[in-house]
Structure 1
Amino acid sequence: MVMRIVVCKFSLLWVVISFSLAEGPLPSSVYLISSSPSEVSSGVLSEWKETLDDSIVDLVIDDDVVWFATGNGLGRTDDNGKTFKGYFKEDGLSDDIITCVDGRSPVVICGIIDEDSVYPQWEGAGVDISDDYGITWSKLGSSQGLNGVEGKYQVAWDVVLYRDEIWVATWTKALFKSIDDVYSFTQILPEFSENMKQWLQESYEYHTYEIDIEGGEMWVACENGLAKTVDGGETWDFYSQLDGDGYRGRFTPTVHIMAENVVWAGTAGPYIDFYDQYHDVGEGVNMTMDGGETWENFNVNDGIGSNNINDITSMGDTVYLATSGGGVAYSGDFGNTWERATTLDGLPSMLVYCIDTDGDALWVGTEKGLARSTDGGKTWEAFDYTIEPGDSDSPRSIAYPNPFYPSSREVAYQRCNIQFSLGTSRYVTLKIYDFSGDEVRTLLDNEYMGPEDVVIVGWDGKDDEGRYVDNGVYFYILDIEGTPPDYGKIAVLQ
């Protein structure tokens, strides 16, 4: 008798239920999750022109609309993930790789990278803006004085609509601010501290990554710390590890104003510090409660899960950190204690790039798509807009986390989940192969399954003999009766 394990979330308790499905035993250490729409929602693209990438690097909530930037197209949902719409080059965008987005109805603006460029030699393709909810688009660039967003190394990392102004943070040209209603721009250069001026190499001087503005006070996340202005960029204060005020870390990709005088700044790596020491990761997150006079630092030793912080938001008195590898960390007491949300709580991945809130719900963008929480981050509903429910003729599949670490102490990384759509009952075979093509593990052997909107099969990193496989790249082949085989790659690290 086949035992299917259905994992349900009830409060903070995982309840395991088993029931009969078909004859014949499943291999040991294999589990199946039958995901109802409340657990993994397969939103349908309302206009299927291309497929939005599932790697989401930025998102913003504008009333009921969520805009999100992906590696292939700009996405939008205005019904909490029931349907999605994608905007691509064929819709008027300058290109399909989106770096950042902001929206204030009916205006939406986003940064673009040339899809033919390769990191680290990114080539910007401008900033695109629409004043009619994405129906038509106009390009902003050097012809408007916005000189830091087109060409090699000229990339917009953040765009902000604030009152009647547009602010743009660029990779090598610092900041740009619009100066009229026809989108003419002027360059703004933050003034660094004397300590920083003595240390800085000119090549790093103008790297800016994120902007947050509240009540006329602007904070800018930079290559070497934070810059603050209260007069629109005329004068600046700068905060860094060199200044002895408690700030930790160098590369600062994100900053968030939580309340008056309360600011959080996330650091990341790898980087070389001010003393020529190499660091694989960042220094966690810094917080000030006095407008930058003093700082307190929180890192993995405090329970945030990762020292690389990609984005920050807050809801009430609770701050939320989007981390690389640690999921979402959150604290309701200004960092004294921390809790974390992981893939066990419904996150599609532990690599979380961005996070935002509308005051009631939280949204995150990860390497594996969107997720939403309505209970303060305790549980999450994941959205996979790359798999359409019932699309049994096209069994597209994904594998996550990828890479995964079978022997890791982090439970969320101990299994790799292979997810696919199954619209009608079919016989299914799923096998793992090594790089040379030799069969390593049979997860499903002509098992009769379905119908399910989404099926998830877990691999624990062991072969058919129960031994952990070696580090390396492995492949899975998913064979669903009556459909072409589907393939995927999985990286294993012990």
Structure 2
Amino acid sequence: MENVKENHSMSKIKKEIILFILVFAGFVSYINAQGIPTDYGSESRLKKTSDVTPASNTIDRILIQGKNSIWLGTSRGLSRSTDNGTNWKNYYKTKDFGTDRISAVAEGLGAVWAATWHYVSDASGNPVPKGTGLRYSIDNGETWVTIKQAVDSSDAVKVTYGVSEINALPITATEQNFIYDIAFTKNAVWIVSFSGGLRKSTDMGKSWQRVVLPPDNLNSIKPSEKLDFDLAPSSGRLNMRGNLNHRAFSIAAAGDDTLYVGTANGINKTIDANSQFPSWVKFNRTNQQKSISGNFVLSLDRNAIDGTIWAGTWKAEGQTEYWAVSSSANGGKTWETFLTSEKVRDFAFRYYTDGSTDVFAAAETGLYRSSNNGMTWIAAPKIVDSESKVELRPTLFLSVECNVLNSNATEVWIGTNDGLAKAIESPSASWFEKWKVYFASSGTITTNESFAFPNPYNPKLDLLRIKYNLSKASSVSLRIFDFGMNLVRTVLQNASRGSNIEQIDYWDGKNDEGIIVPNGVYFYRLDIGDGTQLFGKILVMM
């Protein structure tokens, strides 16, 4: 009898195969979708995302504006909540943002700024990041001004720095030229990018000035010195002397005159940022006794209470370099290193009324917290929604920010490649007390419905999530079948699940032998304890 029932169910699925294939034909353009160049996750969805959630599960950037406004830079554009995460406005596929991704979000000069980019293919068909500029809004996201990606004219082969005329490689293309980070000083917006280097604008992005940083072989420069080097991130078509220090990735302002700029050759500091020709000093792995851990500086932030600079310092090319957190409490004169081997992407700070601070570090492998300036760190516990019991299962932690609501409540927002989480803390909490998890999962479902996402699905990049709702608490079994209706994997067997709350269970793309399945069409079947069966289709594409 069981076999008859199962064959009838599978026959029902077979009738949908042709329609299923036609539905997925429209998703071919997503097959090669990739994340930000440091391997952020890819995104693709079957249905329109509800404004109950952000549009993406890959949360690269978080900006807290005031007490209740949360801005997210994601792999599917910009998202905003003005009620602390209850509802979201997604700018994906709007006229101002199109389908661009967001690489930076910042607030300054009376506006909210977002940097945009997407992938294009090079001559060999390989994906290459392409910058598409900036958008800024002075009315909290109601309207936007578009700024094109900053590029140079082909004859811009010289730049003046004090008494020197320096050869400069003109960056004429937007490929490999997208904005990683944004900062502000008095009347100026500053941007950093891989090939575009450090640039500033004093007219809200209408024009941009290339800013000269030291070359790799100099630890400092002054405009009064006669200098001979090339402003060039690579040799380029003019065969210039390329400098890793002219590839910029992070920036942090410390007041109106001080800037820290992270590159592929260390951290550069100026205390006269608003002068026509700022002087710079460079800190890297080899030019100090107590130095940073690595020269590839992917993230920078500043503790507003004590002024300590925190940097995610990655291994670049030096034999003695290593991945870690580097911090300086004396303006860069000396550095301490923590969390050895961790690839840290972002920092945040929880400020207490007694003047103390907790530091958060979002590393690829987890979220860490220190209450003693980095001497010891505590890893975040498993992230499980306090109400739905849905678990966040990221393989990358990408961003973190703190929002102090009042003296009794602080929220810690955490961005990953598996969704967004909010932790709610009281002053006495040593870690998180209450969690809220946000998944971009095509909205809500009714009782005895289900769907799978992301779909198409790449097991090498993500976990497949199967979302469903139950009319009452029950046991649930989840099985995966291939196109020929052969059993591939028993994911769950009579697992207990609650009622009236959306459930999410996971498949890692592997069969019962622990091997990733090949590309193709697959089906899932949920067997509910009351005899109900829920079905769905999955397209595996790697």
TM-score grouping bracket, smaller chain normalisation: 0.7 to 0.9
Q: CA deviation at 1:457?
A: 3.3
Taking a change above 3 Å as real, the CA distance of residues 105 and 61 of structure 1, as seen in their structure-2 partners, is farther
Match of 2:524 in 1: 478
The answer for the alignment partner of 1:46 in structure 2 is: 51
Whole-angstrom CA distance in 1 between matches of 2:399 and 2:91: 19
Whichever residue aligns with residue 355 of structure 1, its letter is V
Looking at structure 2, the residues matched to 435 and 483 of structure 1 have their Cα atoms a distance apart, in angstroms, of 17
Alignment correspondent of 1:253: 298
Name the counterpart of 1:241: 285
Distance (Å, rounded) in 1 between the aligned partners of 2:56 and 2:374? 34
CA distance in 2 between counterparts of 1:371 and 1:79 reads: 15
The alignment partner of 1:395 has SS state of: strand
Shift of 1:331: 0.8
Q: Is the 8 A contact 1:478 1:486 kept in 2?
A: yes
Alignment match of 2:102 (pick from 98, 102, 105): 98
2:285 is matched by which residue type in structure 1?
Answer: Q
**Larger relative CO (CA 8 A, sep 6+): 1 or 2?**
1
Give yes or no for the alignment of 1:70 onto 2:74: yes
Q: Where in structure 2 are there 5+ consecutive unaligned residues? A: 1-48, 154-169, 221-228, 235-241, 352-356, 385-390, 405-409, 527-531
Map 1:137-156 → 2, pairs under 5 A: 137-141=144-148, 151-156=174-179
Q: Which whole-Å CA distance do the structure 1 matches of 2:349 and 2:203 have between them?
A: 32
State the one-letter code of the partner of 2:308. Answer: V
Q: Using the alignment, how far apart are the partners of 2:523 and 2:202 within structure 1?
A: 56
Partner SS state of residue 158, structure 1: strand
SS in 1 for 2:246: coil
User: What amino acid sits opposite 1:262 in the alignment?
Assistant: T
Moved more, 100-109 or 219-228: 100-109
Q: Specify the alignment match of 1:187 in structure 2.
A: 210
Look up the match of 1:407.
Answer: none
Give the total of aligned pairs.
Answer: 421
**CA offset digits 1:124-167 (Å, max 9, x no partner):** 11112222222222221268979969621111111234554322
- Cα shift at 1:459: 6.6
In the other structure, the counterpart of 1:121 is: 128
Is the counterpart of residue 170 in structure 1 residue 205 in structure 2?
A: no
1:369 aligns with 2:413: no
Select between 432-441 and 368-377 the one with higher mean Cα deviation. Answer: 432-441
Please state how far the C-alpha of 1:212 moved relative to its aligned partner: 1.3
How big is each residue's C-alpha offset from its partner over 1:401-439, in whole Å with a ceiling of 9 and x where there is no partner? Answer: 9769xxxxxxxx9xx784513265699762246899853
Instruction: Give the match for residue 422 of structure 1.
Output: 469
The residue matched to 1:241 in structure 2 has which SS?
A: coil
User: Aligned to 2:60, which of 45, 57, 60?
Assistant: 57
Q: Tell whether the 8 Å contact from 2:184 to 2:253 is kept in structure 1 after alignment.
A: no
Give the Cα separation in 2 of the matches to 1:470 and 1:56: 29
Number of the residue aligned with 1:289: 329
1:134 to 126, 138, 141: 141
Amino acid at match of 1:134: G
* Secondary structure in 2 matching 1:46: coil
Paired AA for residue 75 in structure 2: G
Q: TM-score, normalised by structure 2?
A: 0.66
Contact 2:56–2:440 under 8 Å retained in 1: no
Out of 298, 312, 323, the position equivalent to 2:363 is 323
Q: CA RMSD in A?
A: 4.1
For 1:182 and 1:253, the matched residues in 2 are separated by 24
Is 1:339 aligned to residue 378 of structure 2? yes
CA pair 488-78 structure 1, distance change in 2 beyond 3 A: farther
Relative to structure 1, is the Cα distance of residues 434 and 287 closer, same or farther in structure 2, using a 3 angstrom cutoff? Answer: farther
Q: Aligned equivalents of 1:314 and 1:108: distance in 2?
A: 21
Contact 1:193 1:238 in 2 (8 A): no
Offset from partner CA, 1:346-379 (integer Å, 9 cap, x none): 6542411111122332111110111112226535
Question: Match for 1:365: what amino acid?
Answer: G
SS for the counterpart of 1:385 is: coil
Q: Is contact 2:244-2:263 (8 Å) kept? A: no
Q: Could you tell me which residue of structure 2 aligns to residue 395 of structure 1?
A: 451
> d(CA) in 1 for partners of 2:148 and 2:193?
12
The answer as to whether partners of 1:398 and 1:488 remain within 8 angstroms in 2 is no
| Cα displacement (A) at 1:249 | 1.0
Q: Which of residues 159, 165, 176 in structure 1 aligns to 2:182? A: 159
Name the structure 2 match of 1:10: none
Q: 1:260 to 1:150 in 2, by over 3 A?
A: farther
Mapped contact 1:420–1:454 kept (Cα < 8 A): yes
1:240/1:126 CA distance change after superposition, 3 Å: same
Q: Which residue of 2 aligns with 1:19?
A: none
Report the Cα distance in structure 2 between the residues aligned to 1:76 and 1:381, rounded to whole angstroms: 17
Report the secondary structure of 1:205's partner residue: helix
Deviation at 1:265, TM superposition (A): 0.8
Query: Which deviations, in whole Å up to 9, do the C-alpha atoms of 1:225-246 show, x marking residues without a partner?
Result: 1111111161111111021332
Return the structure number with greater strand share.
1
Q: Partner of 1:385 in structure 2?
A: 440
Change (3 A) 1:265 1:96: same
Identity %: 22
Equivalent-residue separation in structure 1 for 2:480 and 2:219 (angstroms) = 52
> d(CA) in 2 for partners of 1:96 and 1:453?
33
Deviations 1:185-211 (A, max 9, x none): 22212225645699x961533211121
TM-score normalised over the length of structure 1: 0.72
Give unmatched runs, 5+ long, in structure 1: 1-43, 301-305, 405-412
CA shift for structure 1 position 103: 3.2
Question: CA 1:195/1:472 → structure 2, altered by over 3 Å: closer, same or farther?
Answer: farther
Distance 2:245 2:136 in 1: 28
- Confirm or deny: 8 A CA contact 2:298 2:313 kept in the other structure: yes
Displacement, 1:292?
A: 0.9
Q: Which residue of 1 aligns with 2:312?
A: 266
CA distance in 1, matches of 2:55, 2:501: 20
User: Which amino acid counterpart does residue 318 of structure 1 have in structure 2?
Assistant: D
Instruction: Please state if 1:487 is matched with 2:538.
Output: yes
Say if 1:62 and 1:104, in contact at 8 Å, map to a contact too: no
SS of 1:45 mapped into structure 2? coil
